[in-house]
Amino acid sequence: MINTNLSNWINRYQILLFFLLTLMISWAIWIPAAIIKLSGETTMLAPEGLVGGLARWSPGLIAILLSFLISGKTGIGRLFQPIRIRRVGLFWYIFALFFQMVVFYGGKIIDTFLGNLYEVAPPLNSVYGPQAVLMAPIVILFAFPGAFAEELGWRSYVLPRLQNKLSAFLSSVVVSVFWGAWHIPLLIYFGDLEANDFAGYFLAVLNFVPVAILYTWIYNNTKGSLLLVTLFHLGQQLSNNLLGVLPTYTDEILIWIAAIVVIIVEGVENLSRRVPKHQEAG
Residue 5 belongs to what H/E stretch?
helix 4-12
Instruction: Name residues whose C-beta falls within 8 Å of residue 116's C-beta, 6 or more positions apart in sequence.
Output: 248, 250
- Report the distance separating Cα 174 and Cα 216, nearest Å: 12
- Report the distance separating Cα 206 and Cα 162, nearest Å: 19
Residue 36: how many other CB atoms lie within 10 Å: 16
pLDDT tens for each residue of 179-230? 999 999 999 999 889 988 999 999 999 999 999 999 999 999 999 999 999 9
- Report the distance separating Cα 31 and Cα 44, nearest Å: 13
Q: Which value, to the nearest 10 degrees, does the dihedral of the CA atoms of residues 16, 22, 23, 26 take? A: 170
Total count of residues recorded for the chain: 282
- Report the distance separating Cα 219 and Cα 280, nearest Å: 13
- Report the distance separating Cα 221 and Cα 273, nearest Å: 9
DSSP code at position 119: -
pLDDT tens for each residue of 107-166? 999 999 999 988 888 776 665 556 656 666 776 777 889 999 999 999 999 999 999 999
Query: What's the mean pLDDT in 248-261?
Result: 97
DSSP letter string, 149-192: HHHIIIIIIIHHHHHTTS-HHHHHHHHHHHHHHHHHHHHHHTTS
Query: What's the mean pLDDT in 257-274?
Result: 95
Res 130: pLDDT: 61
Domain boundaries, the chain: 4-266
